[in-house]
Amino acid sequence: MTSLAAIICVAIVLSTALGVYLRLRQLDWVAQNSQAVPADFANHVTLEEHRRAAEYNLLKTRFSIVSAIFDGAVSLLWLVFWLTPLYLAIGAVIEPGLTRSVAIVLAFGLASSLLQLPFDFAETFWLEARFGFNRQTVPGFFVDQLKAGMLEFVVMTPLLYGMFAVLHAWPESWWLFAFAGFILFMVAMIAIYPTFIAPLFNEFSPLPDEAMRERLERLLRKCGFESRGLFVMDASRRSSRGNAYFTGFGKAKRIVFYDTLLTRHTPEEIESILAHELGHFKFGHVRQMLALTAAVAFAGFAALSWALGPNGLTLAFGLPYEPGLALIAAYLAKDPVMHILSPLLSWRSRRAEFEADDFAKSMVGEEPMISALTRLTRDNLATLTPDRIYALFYYSHPPVPVRIAHLRGAS
C-alpha cells in the first residue's frame, strides 16, 4: 500500500468519525430539548407529540451511527482486502476486456446491495414500523429491491460498456466524452423517469377531486406553469409519510401529490405546497441544480481521468491494473470528499427552499404555508430542535423552525 492509499484509508476513517461526532451532537441536542415544545409551536404541537418526535429521531440517529460505522468499515475492507479476490474470481471466468471490467463493477454493486439489505430491512420493518410509518409488506419490500436491482442492471450495463470502450479508444481524452455522455444521460432521465421508471414502483392517477383540481389549475395559470396534469401517487402502499413534487421539464412536467398528503391537509395547505413547488420552477432551481451537478461531475470525471489510468488508484492499492477495479476504488475514495463538501453543496439547496417559500407566500399568503409545514413536521415526526451543525451537513432543506421564522420575517 502506497502513501496515497494510506491517506485515502485515513480519510475514510476520519470521515466516519466526523459522521459519528455529528450524530452524537444531534442525539445530545434533541434529548436536551425533548421536554419542552418550542414557543413558536406551543399552540400547534403537543408535548406528547414533541416527545414522540424526539424518541423517533433519537432512535433513528442511533441507527444511523451503526450504519455509518458499518459503511466506513466495509469501504476499508473493499479497498484493502476484498477487491483482489473479486478481481481473481471474475478473472477466472472472463477474459481481459470490456466485459470483464463491466462484470467487476456489476459484481461489486450486487455485493454492496446485499450488504446494505439488512439495514434497509431493519429501517423499514423495525424503525419505521415502530412509529407507524411503514405500510409495506415483506414480499413487497423484496419485490421493490428486485425491481430496483434489475433496473440498475439494465441502465448501468450499457453505460459501463460505453465508458470503458471510450477509455480504451481515447485513453487521454476519454473523460471528456464520458462527462458529455453523463450530462446527456442526466437530462434524458429527467424526461424518462416520470413516464417509464416511476410507474414501475407506484401507480399514478389524475387528481380526482374536481374542486381541488380547479383550484390548483387556477394557481398554475396564475404562475404561468404548463404541465401534463396533476397526479396522485399511491404512496400509502409503502409509507404514511406525505409529500409532493414536480418532475420532468418542458411540456412533460408533472405535478405529483402523495395520496397521504391529500388526506391530511386542508385545501389551503395543499395549494401552498403546490405554490412552493412552483417557486422552484419560477426561480429555475432545477436548471441551477443541474448546472451545479454538472460542475461537480466535471471535476469528478477529471479526477477519474487519472484514477483509471495505469498509474492511478489500482497502483496505489497494489491491485492489478483493471479499469473496473479503479472505478470501484475511486467510488469508495470519493465519499470523504463529498462528506466534507456537503455543507457547501447543500447551501444552494437550502437557499432555494427559502426562495420557494417566499414565492408561496406571495401567491397564497404565509399562514397556509406555515400551517402546512407545521403539519408535515408533526405528521412525519421531524424534530423541531435539530443540532445546527448536524443540520448544516445533513439537511438539504432548512429546519422547519428556521423556515417558519423566515416566512414570518420575509417582506
Reported as a pLDDT band with limits 50, 70 and 90, residue 410 is low
Grid cell, residue 246, equals 414536480
Q: What is the mean pLDDT of residues 60-86?
A: 98
Report domain extents, the chain.
3-200+283-409
Average pLDDT for the chain: 93
Whether 411 has a pLDDT exceeding 50, the answer reads: no
- 276 marked among binding-site residues: yes
Grid cell, residue 299, equals 471535476
pLDDT in tens, 34-69: 999 998 898 899 999 999 999 999 999 999 999 999
pLDDT in tens, 356-393: 999 999 999 999 999 999 999 999 999 999 999 999 99
The 10 Å Cβ neighbour count of residue 180 is 12
What is the DSSP track for 20-51?
HHHHHHHHHHHHHTTTS--GGGTTTS-HHHHH
Grid cell, residue 198, equals 416511476
CA distances to 304, 326, 332 from 105, rounded to whole Å, are 15, 10, 12
- 280 marked among binding-site residues: yes
pLDDT in tens, 120-133: 999 999 999 999 99
Residue 205 backbone dihedrals phi, psi, to 5 degrees: -135, 150
Which residues belong to the active site?
A: 277, 357
- 353 marked among binding-site residues: yes
H/E element, 65: helix 47-77
Question: CA 76 to CA 156: how far, in whole Å?
Answer: 24
pLDDT in tens, 14-26: 999 999 999 999 9
pLDDT in tens, 249-305: 666 678 899 999 999 899 999 999 999 989 988 898 888 988 999 999 999 999 999
Reported as a pLDDT band with limits 50, 70 and 90, residue 194 is confident
Question: CA 104 to CA 171: how far, in whole Å?
Answer: 20
